[in-house]
Amino acid sequence: MRRAHPLEQAVGIDHYVTDSDGTGGELRVEPDDFRVRELEDFDAEPVDASADTYEHLLIRVTLRRWDTNDFARELSNRLGISRHRVSWAGTKDKHAVTTQLFSVDGVEPESLPEISGAEFEVVGRTGRSILFGDLAGNAFEIRVRNPDNPETAPKITEQLREFGGGTAGVPNYFGQQRFGSQRPVSHEIGLAMVRGQWERAVMTYVGNPSEREPAETQEAREFVDETRDWTEALDRLPTYLGYERSMVHELDRRTNGGDEPASDEDFRAALGELPDNLSQLFVNAAQSYLFNQMLSERLDRGLPFDQPIEGDVVCFVDNGGPDGLELPDTDRKQRVTADRVDSVRRHCKRGRAFVTAPLVGTETELAGGEQGDIERAVLEDVDLAPEDFELPDDLSSTGTRRAILVRSELDCQQDPLELSFSLPRGSYATVLLREYLKRDPEHL
Protein backbone atom coordinates (compact mmCIF):
# COMPACT_ATOMS: atom_id res chain seq x y z
CA MET A 1 0.00 0.00 0.00
CA ARG A 2 1.06 3.55 -0.70
CA ARG A 3 1.82 5.71 2.33
CA ALA A 4 -0.41 8.70 2.91
CA HIS A 5 0.67 12.33 2.99
CA PRO A 6 2.37 13.29 6.31
CA LEU A 7 -0.48 15.68 7.15
CA GLU A 8 -2.91 12.78 6.81
CA GLN A 9 -0.75 10.46 8.88
CA ALA A 10 -0.94 13.03 11.67
CA VAL A 11 -4.70 12.39 11.91
CA GLY A 12 -4.50 8.60 11.71
CA ILE A 13 -4.84 8.15 7.93
CA ASP A 14 -1.75 6.08 7.15
CA HIS A 15 -2.44 4.71 3.66
CA TYR A 16 -4.00 4.92 0.28
CA VAL A 17 -5.73 1.71 -0.76
CA THR A 18 -4.89 2.32 -4.43
CA ASP A 19 -1.30 1.86 -5.64
CA SER A 20 -1.65 3.80 -8.90
CA ASP A 21 -0.12 7.23 -9.30
CA GLY A 22 -2.56 10.04 -8.64
CA THR A 23 -4.26 12.10 -11.32
CA GLY A 24 -3.27 15.36 -9.65
CA GLY A 25 -5.43 18.32 -10.55
CA GLU A 26 -7.42 21.05 -8.86
CA LEU A 27 -10.80 21.05 -7.13
CA ARG A 28 -13.29 23.92 -6.74
CA VAL A 29 -11.68 26.20 -9.34
CA GLU A 30 -15.26 27.29 -10.09
CA PRO A 31 -18.34 26.61 -7.92
CA ASP A 32 -19.84 24.42 -10.66
CA ASP A 33 -16.83 22.11 -10.34
CA PHE A 34 -18.17 20.82 -7.01
CA ARG A 35 -21.91 20.14 -6.93
CA VAL A 36 -23.56 18.59 -3.88
CA ARG A 37 -27.21 17.56 -3.57
CA GLU A 38 -28.67 16.28 -0.33
CA LEU A 39 -30.31 12.88 -0.37
CA GLU A 40 -33.33 13.70 1.71
CA ASP A 41 -34.94 11.55 4.39
CA PHE A 42 -37.65 13.87 5.66
CA ASP A 43 -41.40 13.95 5.04
CA ALA A 44 -43.32 17.20 4.83
CA GLU A 45 -46.98 18.17 4.83
CA PRO A 46 -48.40 20.20 1.91
CA VAL A 47 -47.60 23.90 1.95
CA ASP A 48 -51.27 24.73 2.56
CA ALA A 49 -51.35 22.65 5.78
CA SER A 50 -52.23 24.51 8.98
CA ALA A 51 -49.45 26.89 10.00
CA ASP A 52 -50.64 26.59 13.60
CA THR A 53 -49.93 22.84 13.63
CA TYR A 54 -47.05 22.81 11.13
CA GLU A 55 -45.28 26.04 11.95
CA HIS A 56 -42.01 25.34 10.12
CA LEU A 57 -41.75 26.13 6.40
CA LEU A 58 -39.57 23.54 4.63
CA ILE A 59 -37.58 24.89 1.68
CA ARG A 60 -35.04 23.41 -0.71
CA VAL A 61 -32.34 25.94 -1.55
CA THR A 62 -29.64 25.81 -4.21
CA LEU A 63 -26.70 27.94 -3.13
CA ARG A 64 -23.73 29.26 -5.08
CA ARG A 65 -20.74 30.68 -3.15
CA TRP A 66 -22.60 30.50 0.17
CA ASP A 67 -21.39 28.89 3.37
CA THR A 68 -24.41 27.29 5.08
CA ASN A 69 -24.01 29.26 8.33
CA ASP A 70 -23.52 32.54 6.50
CA PHE A 71 -26.60 31.92 4.35
CA ALA A 72 -28.73 31.08 7.40
CA ARG A 73 -27.62 34.34 9.02
CA GLU A 74 -28.40 36.33 5.86
CA LEU A 75 -31.81 34.68 5.49
CA SER A 76 -32.77 35.37 9.11
CA ASN A 77 -31.60 38.98 8.80
CA ARG A 78 -33.65 39.53 5.65
CA LEU A 79 -36.70 37.98 7.33
CA GLY A 80 -36.14 39.98 10.51
CA ILE A 81 -36.15 36.88 12.72
CA SER A 82 -33.75 35.18 15.11
CA ARG A 83 -31.05 33.10 13.48
CA HIS A 84 -32.17 30.22 15.74
CA ARG A 85 -35.43 29.95 13.77
CA VAL A 86 -33.50 28.74 10.70
CA SER A 87 -32.37 25.09 10.74
CA TRP A 88 -30.75 22.69 8.29
CA ALA A 89 -29.69 19.06 7.99
CA GLY A 90 -26.07 19.36 6.85
CA THR A 91 -23.39 22.03 6.61
CA LYS A 92 -21.95 22.56 3.13
CA ASP A 93 -18.84 24.17 1.65
CA LYS A 94 -18.85 27.73 0.30
CA HIS A 95 -16.81 26.84 -2.79
CA ALA A 96 -19.52 24.70 -4.38
CA VAL A 97 -23.04 24.62 -5.74
CA THR A 98 -25.15 22.96 -3.07
CA THR A 99 -28.80 21.91 -2.91
CA GLN A 100 -30.07 21.38 0.62
CA LEU A 101 -33.09 21.58 2.91
CA PHE A 102 -33.79 24.35 5.42
CA SER A 103 -36.69 24.83 7.78
CA VAL A 104 -37.79 28.29 8.87
CA ASP A 105 -40.01 28.75 11.90
CA GLY A 106 -43.11 30.91 11.54
CA VAL A 107 -42.82 32.41 8.05
CA GLU A 108 -44.98 32.22 4.92
CA PRO A 109 -43.69 31.35 1.42
CA GLU A 110 -44.39 34.86 0.15
CA SER A 111 -42.06 36.26 2.82
CA LEU A 112 -38.99 34.56 1.36
CA PRO A 113 -36.59 37.25 0.11
CA GLU A 114 -34.55 37.37 -3.06
CA ILE A 115 -30.93 36.62 -2.17
CA SER A 116 -28.12 36.69 -4.72
CA GLY A 117 -26.71 33.20 -5.29
CA ALA A 118 -29.74 31.46 -3.77
CA GLU A 119 -32.66 29.73 -5.51
CA PHE A 120 -35.67 28.77 -3.36
CA GLU A 121 -38.12 25.91 -3.79
CA VAL A 122 -40.92 25.59 -1.24
CA VAL A 123 -41.30 21.93 -0.27
CA GLY A 124 -44.05 22.07 2.36
CA ARG A 125 -44.59 22.39 6.10
CA THR A 126 -43.43 20.44 9.12
CA GLY A 127 -44.21 20.34 12.82
CA ARG A 128 -40.56 20.56 13.86
CA SER A 129 -37.30 21.99 12.65
CA ILE A 130 -35.10 19.89 10.40
CA LEU A 131 -32.08 18.29 12.12
CA PHE A 132 -28.80 16.62 11.15
CA GLY A 133 -30.27 13.12 11.45
CA ASP A 134 -32.85 13.99 8.80
CA LEU A 135 -30.16 13.86 6.10
CA ALA A 136 -29.64 10.44 4.51
CA GLY A 137 -26.57 11.37 2.50
CA ASN A 138 -25.21 13.49 -0.34
CA ALA A 139 -24.82 13.05 -4.09
CA PHE A 140 -21.70 14.59 -5.64
CA GLU A 141 -20.79 15.69 -9.16
CA ILE A 142 -17.16 16.80 -9.22
CA ARG A 143 -14.85 18.04 -11.96
CA VAL A 144 -11.08 17.82 -11.54
CA ARG A 145 -9.36 20.58 -13.50
CA ASN A 146 -5.84 20.46 -14.92
CA PRO A 147 -5.04 16.86 -13.95
CA ASP A 148 -1.43 15.80 -14.46
CA ASN A 149 -2.20 12.13 -15.13
CA PRO A 150 -5.87 11.68 -16.06
CA GLU A 151 -4.99 8.34 -17.68
CA THR A 152 -4.53 6.79 -14.21
CA ALA A 153 -8.20 7.34 -13.26
CA PRO A 154 -9.58 4.07 -14.75
CA LYS A 155 -6.97 1.99 -12.88
CA ILE A 156 -7.76 3.80 -9.63
CA THR A 157 -11.46 3.10 -10.16
CA GLU A 158 -10.73 -0.57 -10.77
CA GLN A 159 -8.66 -0.84 -7.58
CA LEU A 160 -11.39 0.88 -5.55
CA ARG A 161 -13.90 -1.67 -6.83
CA GLU A 162 -11.57 -4.48 -5.83
CA PHE A 163 -11.26 -3.02 -2.35
CA GLY A 164 -15.02 -2.58 -2.03
CA GLY A 165 -15.85 -6.12 -3.11
CA GLY A 166 -17.27 -5.19 -6.51
CA THR A 167 -18.58 -1.70 -5.72
CA ALA A 168 -16.12 1.19 -5.40
CA GLY A 169 -15.14 1.46 -1.76
CA VAL A 170 -12.72 3.28 0.53
CA PRO A 171 -12.01 3.12 4.27
CA ASN A 172 -14.60 5.29 5.97
CA TYR A 173 -11.96 7.62 7.40
CA PHE A 174 -12.83 10.96 8.94
CA GLY A 175 -11.45 13.46 6.46
CA GLN A 176 -8.77 16.07 7.08
CA GLN A 177 -11.31 18.87 7.59
CA ARG A 178 -12.44 17.12 10.77
CA PHE A 179 -9.07 17.97 12.32
CA GLY A 180 -7.95 21.13 10.52
CA SER A 181 -6.49 21.22 7.02
CA GLN A 182 -3.62 23.60 7.82
CA ARG A 183 -3.06 22.89 11.50
CA PRO A 184 -4.54 19.50 12.44
CA VAL A 185 -4.59 19.77 16.24
CA SER A 186 -8.26 19.42 17.22
CA HIS A 187 -7.82 15.73 18.08
CA GLU A 188 -4.71 16.48 20.17
CA ILE A 189 -6.72 19.03 22.16
CA GLY A 190 -9.53 16.50 22.58
CA LEU A 191 -7.17 13.74 23.74
CA ALA A 192 -5.71 16.11 26.34
CA MET A 193 -9.21 17.01 27.54
CA VAL A 194 -10.21 13.37 27.88
CA ARG A 195 -7.07 12.78 29.99
CA GLY A 196 -7.87 15.83 32.13
CA GLN A 197 -4.72 17.59 30.92
CA TRP A 198 -6.20 21.09 30.78
CA GLU A 199 -2.89 22.94 30.47
CA ARG A 200 -1.83 20.77 27.58
CA ALA A 201 -5.19 21.26 25.87
CA VAL A 202 -4.95 25.06 26.13
CA MET A 203 -1.32 25.25 25.06
CA THR A 204 -1.94 22.95 22.09
CA TYR A 205 -4.63 25.35 20.92
CA VAL A 206 -3.03 28.71 21.75
CA GLY A 207 0.63 27.84 21.15
CA ASN A 208 1.90 25.03 18.95
CA PRO A 209 2.58 26.95 15.69
CA SER A 210 2.31 25.43 12.24
CA GLU A 211 4.55 26.31 9.29
CA ARG A 212 1.38 26.51 7.17
CA GLU A 213 0.12 29.52 9.13
CA PRO A 214 0.95 33.20 8.42
CA ALA A 215 4.27 34.35 9.86
CA GLU A 216 2.66 36.68 12.43
CA THR A 217 0.52 33.82 13.72
CA GLN A 218 3.52 31.50 14.02
CA GLU A 219 5.51 34.15 15.86
CA ALA A 220 2.68 34.86 18.31
CA ARG A 221 2.17 31.17 19.07
CA GLU A 222 5.92 30.69 19.56
CA PHE A 223 5.94 33.60 22.00
CA VAL A 224 3.16 32.00 24.03
CA ASP A 225 4.98 28.67 24.11
CA GLU A 226 8.27 30.20 25.19
CA THR A 227 7.19 32.85 27.73
CA ARG A 228 3.66 32.22 29.11
CA ASP A 229 3.53 36.03 29.28
CA TRP A 230 -0.23 36.36 28.92
CA THR A 231 -0.32 40.16 28.94
CA GLU A 232 2.22 40.56 26.16
CA ALA A 233 0.64 37.63 24.27
CA LEU A 234 -2.60 39.63 24.00
CA ASP A 235 -0.66 42.34 22.14
CA ARG A 236 0.93 39.81 19.81
CA LEU A 237 -1.92 37.46 18.97
CA PRO A 238 -3.69 38.66 15.78
CA THR A 239 -7.25 39.85 16.28
CA TYR A 240 -8.56 37.10 13.97
CA LEU A 241 -7.48 34.51 16.56
CA GLY A 242 -10.51 35.40 18.64
CA TYR A 243 -10.81 32.16 20.61
CA GLU A 244 -7.11 32.10 21.42
CA ARG A 245 -7.31 35.68 22.65
CA SER A 246 -10.32 34.88 24.86
CA MET A 247 -8.44 32.04 26.52
CA VAL A 248 -5.28 34.11 27.03
CA HIS A 249 -7.34 37.01 28.41
CA GLU A 250 -8.85 34.67 31.02
CA LEU A 251 -5.40 33.39 31.98
CA ASP A 252 -4.11 36.96 32.22
CA ARG A 253 -7.04 37.91 34.47
CA ARG A 254 -6.74 34.88 36.74
CA THR A 255 -2.96 35.24 37.20
CA ASN A 256 -3.04 39.01 37.89
CA GLY A 257 -1.26 39.90 34.69
CA GLY A 258 1.08 36.93 34.92
CA ASP A 259 2.35 37.72 38.42
CA GLU A 260 1.15 34.30 39.60
CA PRO A 261 1.70 30.94 37.89
CA ALA A 262 -1.36 29.51 36.15
CA SER A 263 -2.89 26.55 37.95
CA ASP A 264 -4.64 23.59 36.44
CA GLU A 265 -7.91 25.20 37.50
CA ASP A 266 -6.92 28.37 35.63
CA PHE A 267 -6.29 26.43 32.41
CA ARG A 268 -9.61 24.61 32.84
CA ALA A 269 -11.36 27.96 33.20
CA ALA A 270 -9.56 29.31 30.12
CA LEU A 271 -10.80 26.37 28.09
CA GLY A 272 -14.28 27.18 29.39
CA GLU A 273 -14.13 30.44 27.40
CA LEU A 274 -14.71 28.42 24.23
CA PRO A 275 -18.24 27.82 22.94
CA ASP A 276 -19.66 24.49 24.08
CA ASN A 277 -20.01 23.22 20.52
CA LEU A 278 -16.30 23.86 19.84
CA SER A 279 -15.26 22.03 23.00
CA GLN A 280 -17.49 19.13 21.99
CA LEU A 281 -15.88 19.18 18.54
CA PHE A 282 -12.48 18.59 20.15
CA VAL A 283 -13.78 15.49 21.98
CA ASN A 284 -15.38 14.26 18.76
CA ALA A 285 -12.09 14.82 16.93
CA ALA A 286 -10.30 12.65 19.49
CA GLN A 287 -12.85 9.88 18.86
CA SER A 288 -12.40 10.33 15.10
CA TYR A 289 -8.61 10.10 15.37
CA LEU A 290 -8.83 6.83 17.31
CA PHE A 291 -11.26 5.50 14.72
CA ASN A 292 -8.89 6.43 11.87
CA GLN A 293 -6.03 4.71 13.70
CA MET A 294 -8.07 1.53 14.04
CA LEU A 295 -8.82 1.50 10.31
CA SER A 296 -5.18 2.08 9.43
CA GLU A 297 -4.09 -0.78 11.68
CA ARG A 298 -6.70 -3.08 10.12
CA LEU A 299 -5.26 -2.20 6.72
CA ASP A 300 -1.75 -2.86 7.99
CA ARG A 301 -2.81 -6.33 9.09
CA GLY A 302 -4.40 -7.10 5.73
CA LEU A 303 -7.86 -7.70 7.19
CA PRO A 304 -10.90 -7.26 4.93
CA PHE A 305 -13.15 -4.21 5.08
CA ASP A 306 -16.00 -5.54 2.95
CA GLN A 307 -16.58 -8.69 5.00
CA PRO A 308 -16.29 -9.66 8.67
CA ILE A 309 -13.95 -11.92 10.57
CA GLU A 310 -14.75 -13.66 13.85
CA GLY A 311 -15.11 -11.17 16.69
CA ASP A 312 -16.14 -8.22 14.50
CA VAL A 313 -19.20 -6.16 15.38
CA VAL A 314 -21.47 -5.49 12.41
CA CYS A 315 -24.45 -3.21 12.01
CA PHE A 316 -27.30 -3.65 9.56
CA VAL A 317 -28.71 -1.53 6.77
CA ASP A 318 -31.30 1.16 7.36
CA ASN A 319 -34.11 -0.12 5.14
CA GLY A 320 -35.75 3.29 5.16
CA GLY A 321 -32.90 4.99 3.31
CA PRO A 322 -33.10 6.25 -0.28
CA ASP A 323 -32.75 3.72 -3.10
CA GLY A 324 -29.18 3.09 -4.18
CA LEU A 325 -27.63 4.38 -0.94
CA GLU A 326 -26.06 1.97 1.56
CA LEU A 327 -27.09 3.60 4.83
CA PRO A 328 -25.85 1.84 7.99
CA ASP A 329 -28.08 1.72 11.07
CA THR A 330 -25.60 1.65 13.97
CA ASP A 331 -28.39 1.05 16.49
CA ARG A 332 -28.81 -2.47 15.08
CA LYS A 333 -25.61 -4.31 15.95
CA GLN A 334 -24.45 -7.91 16.22
CA ARG A 335 -21.18 -9.53 17.28
CA VAL A 336 -19.91 -12.05 14.70
CA THR A 337 -19.36 -15.44 16.30
CA ALA A 338 -17.52 -18.33 14.61
CA ASP A 339 -20.76 -20.04 13.57
CA ARG A 340 -22.15 -16.81 12.07
CA VAL A 341 -19.20 -15.64 9.98
CA ASP A 342 -20.39 -17.15 6.68
CA SER A 343 -23.97 -15.92 6.97
CA VAL A 344 -22.93 -12.39 7.97
CA ARG A 345 -20.47 -12.31 5.07
CA ARG A 346 -23.37 -12.95 2.71
CA HIS A 347 -25.27 -10.04 4.27
CA CYS A 348 -22.23 -7.78 3.84
CA LYS A 349 -21.77 -8.79 0.21
CA ARG A 350 -25.39 -7.82 -0.52
CA GLY A 351 -25.06 -4.47 1.25
CA ARG A 352 -27.27 -5.54 4.15
CA ALA A 353 -24.61 -5.43 6.88
CA PHE A 354 -21.41 -3.50 7.56
CA VAL A 355 -18.31 -4.16 9.65
CA THR A 356 -17.85 -1.45 12.28
CA ALA A 357 -15.25 0.08 14.58
CA PRO A 358 -15.99 2.21 17.64
CA LEU A 359 -16.19 5.92 18.19
CA VAL A 360 -15.07 5.30 21.73
CA GLY A 361 -17.21 6.49 24.62
CA THR A 362 -18.21 5.46 28.12
CA GLU A 363 -20.57 2.72 26.93
CA THR A 364 -18.30 1.28 24.23
CA GLU A 365 -18.00 -2.50 24.14
CA LEU A 366 -14.88 -3.40 22.19
CA ALA A 367 -14.92 -6.08 19.50
CA GLY A 368 -13.51 -9.55 19.95
CA GLY A 369 -10.91 -11.42 17.92
CA GLU A 370 -8.25 -9.57 15.98
CA GLN A 371 -10.35 -6.45 15.56
CA GLY A 372 -10.70 -6.31 19.34
CA ASP A 373 -6.92 -6.58 19.63
CA ILE A 374 -6.62 -3.59 17.29
CA GLU A 375 -9.10 -1.50 19.27
CA ARG A 376 -7.38 -2.23 22.58
CA ALA A 377 -3.92 -1.56 21.14
CA VAL A 378 -4.97 1.84 19.76
CA LEU A 379 -6.45 2.86 23.11
CA GLU A 380 -3.41 1.59 24.99
CA ASP A 381 -1.13 3.58 22.71
CA VAL A 382 -2.79 6.84 23.81
CA ASP A 383 -3.23 5.66 27.42
CA LEU A 384 -7.03 5.84 27.36
CA ALA A 385 -9.99 3.60 28.21
CA PRO A 386 -13.69 4.01 27.36
CA GLU A 387 -14.53 5.24 30.87
CA ASP A 388 -12.17 8.21 30.38
CA PHE A 389 -14.80 9.82 28.14
CA GLU A 390 -16.82 10.62 31.28
CA LEU A 391 -16.08 14.35 31.22
CA PRO A 392 -17.27 17.50 33.03
CA ASP A 393 -20.24 19.55 31.88
CA ASP A 394 -21.80 18.39 28.60
CA LEU A 395 -18.61 16.98 27.09
CA SER A 396 -19.15 13.33 28.00
CA SER A 397 -19.78 10.84 25.21
CA THR A 398 -21.32 7.40 25.45
CA GLY A 399 -19.83 6.49 22.06
CA THR A 400 -21.24 4.64 19.08
CA ARG A 401 -19.96 2.51 16.21
CA ARG A 402 -19.34 3.45 12.59
CA ALA A 403 -19.02 1.41 9.41
CA ILE A 404 -15.37 0.96 8.42
CA LEU A 405 -16.12 0.85 4.68
CA VAL A 406 -18.07 3.32 2.57
CA ARG A 407 -19.15 2.20 -0.92
CA SER A 408 -20.81 3.90 -3.85
CA GLU A 409 -21.79 3.27 -7.42
CA LEU A 410 -19.11 5.46 -8.95
CA ASP A 411 -19.08 6.97 -12.43
CA CYS A 412 -15.69 8.25 -13.62
CA GLN A 413 -15.31 10.13 -16.90
CA GLN A 414 -11.75 10.74 -18.07
CA ASP A 415 -11.96 13.69 -20.52
CA PRO A 416 -12.78 15.96 -18.80
CA LEU A 417 -12.06 14.19 -15.52
CA GLU A 418 -15.40 14.02 -13.70
CA LEU A 419 -16.58 11.87 -10.80
CA SER A 420 -20.16 11.18 -9.71
CA PHE A 421 -21.01 9.26 -6.54
CA SER A 422 -23.24 9.25 -3.46
CA LEU A 423 -22.25 8.84 0.19
CA PRO A 424 -24.23 8.32 3.41
CA ARG A 425 -24.35 11.11 5.97
CA GLY A 426 -21.17 11.50 7.96
CA SER A 427 -18.89 10.19 5.21
CA TYR A 428 -16.40 12.49 3.50
CA ALA A 429 -16.15 13.03 -0.25
CA THR A 430 -12.50 13.99 0.20
CA VAL A 431 -11.72 10.48 1.48
CA LEU A 432 -12.65 9.15 -1.95
CA LEU A 433 -11.17 12.07 -3.90
CA ARG A 434 -7.78 11.71 -2.18
CA GLU A 435 -7.41 8.26 -3.78
CA TYR A 436 -7.62 9.91 -7.21
CA LEU A 437 -5.69 13.15 -6.77
CA LYS A 438 -3.10 11.99 -4.19
CA ARG A 439 -2.34 15.61 -3.33
CA ASP A 440 -1.55 17.60 -0.23
CA PRO A 441 -4.84 17.35 1.74
CA GLU A 442 -4.93 21.12 2.18
CA HIS A 443 -5.90 21.29 -1.52
CA LEU A 444 -8.69 18.71 -1.40
Give the catalytic positions in this structure: 93
Instruction: Determine contact, residues 142/35, Cβ cutoff 8 Å.
Output: yes
- State the Cα–Cα distance between residues 288 and 294, nearest whole angstrom: 10
- State the Cα–Cα distance between residues 96 and 65, nearest whole angstrom: 6
What residues contact 194, with CB distance under 8 A and at least 6 apart? Answer: 283, 286, 384, 388, 389, 391
- State the Cα–Cα distance between residues 45 and 395, nearest whole angstrom: 36
The residue type found at 348 is C
**H-helix or E-strand containing 141?**
strand 135-144
Beta strands in 301-441 (DSSP E): 313-317, 328-335, 353-359, 400-403, 405-408, 411-413, 417-424
- State the Cα–Cα distance between residues 72 and 63, nearest whole angstrom: 11
* Alpha helices (H) in 350-428, listed in sequence order: 369-381
- State the Cα–Cα distance between residues 312 and 365, nearest whole angstrom: 11
Q: Phi and psi for 359 in degrees, rounded to 5?
A: -95, 100
